[in-house]
Amino acid sequence: MLALAAGAATTTIYKWTDPDGTVHLSSSKPPAGVKYETRTVASSSSPSPATRSGGSRPAGSSGSAGSSAHAAERNEVLGSLRNRECVLALEQLDRLTSGDRATSATEIKRLKQTADANCSRDPSRRREQEDMAAKLRVANGPECVKARNELADMQAQRVRATPEQLRAQQTFVDEFCIPPVQ
């Protein structure tokens, strides 16, 4: 979930859900009494992320050069996590509001709040996030489930397929059915 960069500092990212169901990601602790998870981002030549619930921030390094690199890394990690939460919320919101099954107003409100809290305010970046959500919806949709299953059957030789058919199926899956965020 976290991409780690080189350095000699650690950062703790706090993740919690507020009473309305909005997911928050921050380098600051949530309000008192709120249950949260932490992701410790350790920057070294061999990074090893640790996860805790309700934990506290580990000691980090100091110094202006280290602090600047540390802050840049923290901002990059937070941006990546916020982007992921944004795309997932937009995809779920789109799927639930355009489907034919009933969805609770509470769930829609929660997803909108999660998107508002994590999506970019920059119009071009927000459009990229919306495009990623649309690609995620396709990748999670029934057409791609079917295409991946057919490809698996072809690869396992449960279905006779020519090399051209196999390549065409693989190309379709690679082009349309790989989730842009995981």
Question: N- to C-terminal Cα distance for the chain?
Answer: 8
| Interval 110-131: pLDDT, tens | 999 999 999 999 999 999 999 9
Q: Rounded to whole angstroms, what are the CA distances from 58 to 12, 39, 73, 115, 141?
A: 7, 11, 16, 29, 41
On whether both 167 and 118 belong to a single domain, the answer is no
On whether both 31 and 93 belong to a single domain, the answer is yes
Would residue 82 count as lying in a domain? Answer: yes
On whether both 130 and 154 belong to a single domain, the answer is no
On whether both 33 and 17 belong to a single domain, the answer is yes
DSSP annotation of 8 = S
For residue 42, the model assigns a pLDDT of 60
DSSP annotation of 12 = E
| Interval 116-174: pLDDT, tens | 999 999 999 999 999 999 999 888 889 999 999 999 999 998 889 999 999 999 999 99
Q: How many CB atoms lie within 10 A of CB 56?
A: 8
Query: How many domains, in total, are found in the chain?
Result: 2
Confidence of residue 65 (pLDDT cuts 50, 70, 90): low
On whether both 110 and 31 belong to a single domain, the answer is yes
On whether both 52 and 93 belong to a single domain, the answer is yes
On whether both 161 and 110 belong to a single domain, the answer is no
Task: Using the predicted structure, report yes or no on whether residue 46 has a pLDDT greater than 50.
Answer: no
Q: Rounded to whole angstroms, what are the CA distances from 85 to 20, 77, 158?
A: 16, 12, 38
On whether both 55 and 103 belong to a single domain, the answer is yes
Would residue 60 count as lying in a domain? Answer: yes
Mean pLDDT (the chain) is 80
Query: Which pTM value belongs to this model?
Result: 0.57
Residue partners of 153: CB distance under 8 A and separation at least 6: 159
Structure-token pair, residue 55: 């934990």
Q: Which residue has the tokens 């706090």?
A: 14
